[in-house]
Amino acid sequence: MHDPISQSVNDLIRRQDPEIADLMAHEADRQQFTLELIASENHVSPAVMHAMGTCLTNKYAEGYPGARYYGGCEFHDRIESLAIARACDLFKCRFANVQPHSGAQANTAAFMAVMKPGETFASLILKDGGHLSHGMSLNFSGVYHKPVHYPLHYDQSHPEFEQIDYDAAMAVCTEHKPKVVMCGYSAYPRTIDFARFRKIADACGALLIADIAHIAGLVAAGVHPSPFPHAHVVTTTTHKTLRGPRGGLILTNEEDLIKKINRAVFPGVQGGPLMHVIASKAVAFGEALRPEFKDYARRVVANARALAKGLISRGYRITSGGTDNHLMLVDLRPKSADLTGHDAENWLGKAGIVVNKNGIPNDPRPPKLTSGLRLGTPALTTRGLSERDMDAVAGLIDEVLAGGGDEAVCASVRERVRHLCEKHPLPGVEAAAPVGNL
């Protein structure tokens, strides 16, 4: 699908800076002709993409609409107010801060708004599907706060094996009395019971923060339950299932909390907002408010189920037995005891199938190797692949992995991947053919 704006922007950059233009062309080519299965990635619309490449980047707008520290912000005020109104409309809440530069920044600000340094919070540990900013020892959340972690069900005979153990979470929180209970994850394939987490938070006098970075688009479309009215604060990224620009967002229904959140974002952890990105967030929220987006989110989930089914039928184990959302964790060991996530990621990459290695619950291997892959369907669904295509994708993945990374097998799959991609072109991801070889 031809996008003349991308084309002319690329031509313009090529005239001034051929080196960067060429690298961008290679990347456009990579995106156009590979299958993107990284669960946190997506392909934005040309409107979302081009809103970022605008004169809005020229302006400082520290502060908030109507209360800036710089003159000339009258249009920025209106853009940011629109972004806020659309975010509230989309997530059916009262207040939004659209300035966080990323999901980690959103979490940093949310923590600053509701906790003092040294205070305790409860979360799922990174290796079980949590996130760096949920208490990893080298992250601000682990350096300036005391994380305590609640577990999954690790007992294979339990019907909810590898799912959140809510009773144990209650026990952890009752014992440690955290200031915050954090739910929402980066590698968790099941529905989150926000109401149950609110009961846990209430029982220990904590605030509930839901980080819906991964599932935001599904929540917005109503295909995953909303964290509202249960969570006091909701943080998210805008670029995963929500299909907006790379960035963060904080939501709440409580007036005293939004005041604290706004102070924590600016001047607490950030200076000038990225107004070109905020405009793009507004465009993305507008897209997500349309009925087509509900259909998109439904197809993301249906595709994830179909992909999981296709892999299970080929001998792979999907942790927790399946998926309710856009992602799954594939345990490679039942298929091949020696196969690591590291090798699988590399081999699939050679075949044009882009994935990330990921630890599975109780993974005996270290994070640099892992026994699993995390696969997600948001990007493939955006480019129009269907449930039937998912079985074909599972077949291609299996062919590469069963082939042990054999070069000829990878090359043969690469051809078929290219063909599938040609049938489902990406709008806005195009450039003049790369000139140089890398």
Measured from the CB atom, the residue of 68 and 357 that comes closer to ligand DSN is 357
Tell me which of 41, 59, 60, 119 is the catalytic residue: 60
Look up 296 and say whether it is catalytic: no
Q: How far is the CB of 43 from ligand DSN (least distance, A)?
A: 16
Any contact of residue 40 with ligand DSN (CB under 6 A)? yes
Residue 186 in contact with ligand DSN, rule: CB under 6 A: yes
* Cβ nearer to ligand DSN, comparing 44 with 431: 44
The active-site residue, picked from 246, 298, 350, 418, is 246
237 is catalytic: yes
Instruction: Based on the residue annotation, tell me whether 319 is a catalytic residue of this protein.
Output: no
CA proximity to 148, closest of 130, 193, 160: 130
Active site residue 252: no
Residue 176 C-beta: closest distance to ligand DSN, Å: 25
* Residue 244 and residue 45 in contact, taking contact as beta carbons nearer than 8 Å: no
Q: Which residue among the candidates 62, 254, 391, 406 is catalytic per the annotation?
A: 62
Shortest Cβ distance from residue 385 to ligand DSN (Å)?
A: 20
Spatial distance between the Cα atoms of 96 and 99, rounded to a whole number of angstroms = 9
- Non-local (6+) Cβ contacts of 181 within 8 A are 121, 122, 123, 169, 173, 197, 200, 201, 204, 206, 207, 208, 209
Q: Does 376 bind ligand DSN (CB under 6 A)?
A: no
Question: In angstroms, what CA-CA distances link 223 with 36, 323, 383?
Answer: 22, 13, 20
In the list 127, 131, 190, 224, the residue contacting ligand DSN (rule: CB under 6 A) is: 131
Q: Is 240 a catalytic residue?
A: yes
Nearer to ligand DSN, 143 or 433 (CB): 143
Tell how strand 146-150 and strand 120-124 pair up. Answer: parallel
CA angle 78, 80, 86 (to 5 degrees): 100
User: Among this protein's residues, is 211 annotated catalytic?
Assistant: yes
Least separation in angstroms between CB 192 and ligand DSN: 15
Tokens of 13: 């950059």
Residue 63 burial (CB count, 10 A): 20
Q: Give SS3 for 126.
A: helix
- Annotated catalytic residues are 60, 62, 211, 237, 240, 246
Q: Which residues bind ligand DSN (CB under 6 A)?
A: 40, 103, 131, 186
